[in-house]
Structure 1
C-alpha cells in the first residue's frame, strides 16, 4: 500500500487549489479585469471540468491505463500553463485557462479510482489519505499569502507553475494498482447507463451541480470581498487555511459518521450548513467572529460533502465503471462551478456581495430539498 506516495500526490494537487481558490481572482484583478471578466476567466476551468473528466474517465475505464493517463495530463497541464508567462491579455488568458485545466482535470478522477483500488476493502481509510490534500492547500494559502504581501502578485504565475511541476513529479512516484478485468465497450456503456437509472442517482447528480453552483461567489470573489473589507492578503490566506484545518479535522473524525449516518443524510446536512455559511459571508464578514465561524463550516460544505459523495459514487457504480462514475461526479461539479462563477461575476458587478451570496444560499437549499424528496 503506497500510503505516502498517494498522500504526496494529494498534497501537491490540492496545494495548487490553495493557490487558485484564494488568489487567482486577485491576480486577475491585479491585471485590471472587471468582475464580469474575472467571472468569465474563472468559469473556463470549470467548463473544462464539465468536458474533460468524462473523456478521461471513459478512456481510463476502457483501457485500464489510469496512471499513464494521469501522468500525461500532469505533463500537458504544465506545458499549457507555462504559456501564461508569455502574455496576459484576456483572450490569451482564456486559452491558457482552457488548455491547462482540460489536462489538469484528467488527474483527480483517475487518482480517486487508483487510491480506492489500492485501499481495496479499506476504503473507509480514504479520508486519511485525502487529508494530506487539505494540508497542501493550507501550506499554499499561508505561504503564498505571505509572499504576495511581501512582494507582488506578479510572482503568482511562476509559483503556480512550480506547483504544477511538483504534481507531475508526484504522479511519477505512484505505482499502478492491480488491474481490473475490462469488459467489452458495448457492455461497459450499457452497464454505465443502467447505473445512472438507479434510484437516487439523478437527484444526487443534480445536488452536486447545485452545491458547486452555490460556491460561485466563494471561490470567485471571497478574497476580493475580504480585501475590500480591509483584511490583508496574509490574513485572507489565514482565513482560507482555517477552513481547511476544519476540513482536516472532519477527515480525521468522519469514519464513525460514515458507519452510523446514511450518505444522503450527510449530504443534506452539508447543504443546509452551506446555505447558512453563504448568508454569513455575504452579510457579516466584517465581523471577525462570524467570519471565523463561517470558515469553520468549510468542514461540512466541502469536507463532509466531498467524502460522502466519493463514497456514494463508489457504492452505486461497480468496479468497471468507477472511473466514469467519479468523472461524472467531477463533470457535474464542473458544470455547477462554471455556472456559479459566471453568475457570481455578473451578480457581483451589478448587485454586489450580499445578493450574490443570497443566490448561493438559495441554490444550496434547493439541492437539499431535491435530495430530501428523492433520497
Structure 2
C-alpha cells in the first residue's frame, strides 16, 4: 500500500508559507524603512508575482519531461537561499529590484511542483489535500504573530534574519520530499491547448487571475493600512493571524464539504465573499467588529477558494499535463494576477488612498464571480 509522506510534505508547506507570512505582511514595512514611496514599494513587491508568469511554466515543462519534480524543487530552494544574501549587501532601488527578481525566479518554481507531487502521492484521495496544506497556514500564523510582536520591540532589519532562517527550513524539508509516481492513466495524451480551450477551464483561469489581482492590495498594503490607521504592529500581526486561523479550520473540513458541495459552487461563493471582504476593509478599517468579520471571511476567500480551485485544476489537467497545469494556474493567477494587483495597488494608493485601493480589489473579485458564474459553473 502506498504511504503518503504526510509530515515531510507538511513540513515543506509549513516553511514555505511561513516565508510568505514574513514577506507579505512585513516586507513593505522594511521597504518603507529604506524610504521608498508607495509606488516604488509596489514595484519592488512585484517580482514575487512577475516571475510566476513564466518561471513555473519553464520548471513545470522540465519536470514533466524529466519526471524529476522534487529534484527541481531542491535545486530552486538552495538557489533562493543563496540569492537572498543579496539583501544584506545593498539597499538601492535597482539593486533590490534585481535581487528580488532573482530570488523570485527560483522561489516560484517550488509550489506548483510540490502541489503536483502532493496530489500524485494522494492518488484518488485528493480530498485529503487540505489536511496537508493546513500546515502551511500554521506556519504563516506562527511567523506573522511572532514577527508582529518582534518588530514592535526590535529594528525592522531583524526581518532579514528571520526570512533567511525560513529559507533554510525550506531547503531542509525539500531535501526529504520523495518523488511521486506520475499518473499516466490516459491512453491518449490530450494536448494542453485543447484543455485550455474548454470553456470551464478558461473561466477558472480568468477568475483566478482576477481573484489574485483582488488580493494585491491586501498582500502589499494591509499592514501599512493598519499601522497608518493607528494599530500596533503586534495587533496587525494578530489580525493577519485571525484570518489564517479561520483558514486552518476550513482546510480541516474541506474534505467533507467537497463530498457534498461541488468545487464549482465553492469557487463561486468565495469569489463573491472576496468582493464583500475588500469593501469592508477599504471603508471600515477603523471599525474593529467589521474588520474582524472581514478577517473571518479569509476562511472563504483563501482556504475554501484555494482547496476547490486546486481540485479543479487537478481534475482538468491530467496525465502528462499535471505539473504544467499546476504551473500554468500559478503563473496566470499569482503571476499575471498578482503582478497586476501589486502594481495597481501601488499606483491607486499613491494617488487616492486605501479606501479606493481596496474598492478596486472588490471590483476585481466581483468581475471574477460574474465570469465564473457565466462559464465556469455547471448549469443545472
Q: Shorter-chain TM-score: which interval?
A: over 0.9
Summarize the alignment of residues 168-183 of structure 1 with structure 2, pairs less than 5 Å apart. Answer: 168-180=171-183
Summarize the alignment of residues 89-128 of structure 1 with structure 2, pairs less than 5 Å apart. Answer: 89-128=92-131
Whether 1:136 and 2:164 are equivalent positions in the alignment is no
Whether the 8 Å contact between 2:184 and 2:319 is mirrored in structure 1 is: no
What's the CA shift for 1:180? Answer: 4.6
Range with bigger deviation, 12-21 or 142-151 = 142-151
Which runs of at least 4 in structure 1 moved beyond 3 Å after TM superposition? Answer: 179-183, 187-190
The one-character-per-residue Cα deviations of 1:106-128 (angstroms, maximum 9, x if unpaired) are: 00001001111111111110100
Higher helix residue share: 1
Whether the 8 Å contact between 1:188 and 1:321 is mirrored in structure 2 is: no
What's the CA shift for 1:175? Answer: 1.6
Whether the 8 Å contact between 2:279 and 2:359 is mirrored in structure 1 is: yes
Secondary structure in structure 2 of the residue aligned to 1:347 = helix
Range with bigger deviation, 194-203 or 105-114 = 194-203
Summarize the alignment of residues 183-202 of structure 1 with structure 2, pairs less than 5 Å apart. Answer: 191-202=191-202
Whether the 8 Å contact between 1:182 and 1:320 is mirrored in structure 2 is: no
Whether 1:225 and 2:228 are equivalent positions in the alignment is no
Task: Decide whether aligned partners of structure 1 residues 18 and 188 sit closer, same or farther in structure 2, where only a CA change above 3 A counts.
Answer: farther
The one-character-per-residue Cα deviations of 1:146-193 (angstroms, maximum 9, x if unpaired) are: 11111110111121111001100010011222345699xxx9996211
For residues 27 and 331 of structure 2, what CA distance do their matches in structure 1 show? 21
Whether the 8 Å contact between 2:182 and 2:319 is mirrored in structure 1 is: no
For residues 188 and 146 of structure 2, what CA distance do their matches in structure 1 show? 45
Q: Work out the number of aligned pairs and report it.
A: 372
Secondary structure in structure 1 of the residue aligned to 2:355 = helix
Which residue number corresponds to residue 374 of structure 2? 373
Whether the 8 Å contact between 1:12 and 1:166 is mirrored in structure 2 is: yes
Whether 1:255 and 2:255 are equivalent positions in the alignment is yes
The one-character-per-residue Cα deviations of 1:83-121 (angstroms, maximum 9, x if unpaired) are: 101001100110111011110010000100111111111
What's the CA shift for 1:81? Answer: 1.2
Whether 1:335 and 2:336 are equivalent positions in the alignment is yes
The one-character-per-residue Cα deviations of 1:257-284 (angstroms, maximum 9, x if unpaired) are: 2112222211111110000000110011
Secondary structure in structure 2 of the residue aligned to 1:87 = coil
Whether 1:156 and 2:177 are equivalent positions in the alignment is no
Match of 1:30 among 8, 30, 33: 33
Summarize the alignment of residues 350-369 of structure 1 with structure 2, pairs less than 5 Å apart. Answer: 350-369=351-370
What's the CA shift for 1:305? Answer: 0.9
Whether the 8 Å contact between 2:61 and 2:323 is mirrored in structure 1 is: yes
For residues 168 and 179 of structure 1, what CA distance do their matches in structure 2 show? 23
Normalising by structure 1, report the TM-score.
Answer: 0.97
> How much is the aligned-residue C-alpha RMSD, in angstroms?
1.5
For residues 261 and 190 of structure 1, what CA distance do their matches in structure 2 show? 28
What's the CA shift for 1:43? Answer: 1.1
**Structure 2 residues not aligned, in runs of 5+:** none
Whether the 8 Å contact between 1:64 and 1:180 is mirrored in structure 2 is: no
Summarize the alignment of residues 300-315 of structure 1 with structure 2, pairs less than 5 Å apart. Answer: 300-315=300-315
For residues 169 and 93 of structure 1, what CA distance do their matches in structure 2 show? 26
Whether the 8 Å contact between 1:43 and 1:338 is mirrored in structure 2 is: yes
Secondary structure in structure 2 of the residue aligned to 1:173 = coil
Secondary structure in structure 1 of the residue aligned to 2:219 = helix
What's the CA shift for 1:319? Answer: 2.0
Whether the 8 Å contact between 2:209 and 2:332 is mirrored in structure 1 is: yes
Summarize the alignment of residues 259-278 of structure 1 with structure 2, pairs less than 5 Å apart. Answer: 259-278=259-278
The one-character-per-residue Cα deviations of 1:16-52 (angstroms, maximum 9, x if unpaired) are: 0000111011111111110000011111210001111
Summarize the alignment of residues 39-118 of structure 1 with structure 2, pairs less than 5 Å apart. Answer: 39-118=42-121
The one-character-per-residue Cα deviations of 1:181-232 (angstroms, maximum 9, x if unpaired) are: 699xxx9996211211223111111100000101111111000000011111
Task: Decide whether aligned partners of structure 1 residues 73 and 13 sit closer, same or farther in structure 2, where only a CA change above 3 A counts.
Answer: same
**Structure 1 residues not aligned, in runs of 5+:** none
